[in-house]
Structure 1
Amino acid sequence: MTTSAPLRPGEQLASAVCSTRVIVVRAPAEGAPLIACGGTPMVPATGGRPSTAGMTDPRTLLGKRYVDASETLEVLCTSPGVGELSCDGVPMTIKAAKALPASD
């Protein structure tokens, strides 16, 4: 975001350069990290869903959770896009799935 307002869980953000949209799942208690997509800060999402028609090779994948390096920020992708997500200039990674306990 371009302002210094802290992120809140449930907040919806949209890319200014592609069709990527995310929902903030977890945000740090302190500070206001800058989430960007394709190198451009994301903005509050408004209106309907963007068109993904004709999109090839999305970098941001629908339904995947992305985390920052310290895993204090987590977002869920609700619309795929070709831009790469980053937090404060560092690329975000797909959150690893938790292993389920073995059942006998």
Structure 2
Amino acid sequence: MTPPAPTPRPGDQLASTVCGTRVVVIRAPADTHPRLTCGGSPLVPAADAPAARPGPAGTTTLIGKRYVDATGTLELLCTASGAGELTCDGAPMTLKAAKPLPASD
């Protein structure tokens, strides 16, 4: 039996095992253990990640963009782009929309 994945905490650096995607946890719920994956494989601590390899074709993660889960309680910042799609508990994570700036009229 494998131990459960640790709860992600703000500041944690995670990496994909199937592509070059790397992320930093910006916001995470303290009371849940979300299953974070990229390209169908679990994200691992960046220090334990193998060397980046080409991943599956299709959706890509974009460097400098923030991704949120469906409830908006988990937020990741992409620090290295890759070919895999970020998911949280099986649901695709979406790009976080930028806040509109106030008008300067």
* TM-score in same-fold range (> 0.5): yes
Say if 2:18 and 2:52, in contact at 8 Å, map to a contact too: no
TM-aligned CA deviation for residue 82 of structure 1: 0.1
1:21 aligns with 2:9: no
CA distance in 1, matches of 2:59, 2:48: 22
CA distance in 2, matches of 1:43, 1:52: 15
How many residue pairs are counted as aligned between the two chains?
Answer: 100
Cα distance 1:58–1:89, how it changes in 2: closer, same or farther (>3 A)? closer
Identity of aligned residues (%): 59
After TM superposition, the score normalised by the length of structure 2 is 0.85
Runs (5+) with no aligned partner, structure 2? none
CA distance in 2, matches of 1:28, 1:4: 14
Say if 2:9 and 2:28, in contact at 8 Å, map to a contact too: yes
TM-aligned CA deviation for residue 4 of structure 1: 3.5
- CA RMSD in angstroms, aligned pairs only: 2.3
TM-aligned CA deviation for residue 46 of structure 1: 1.3
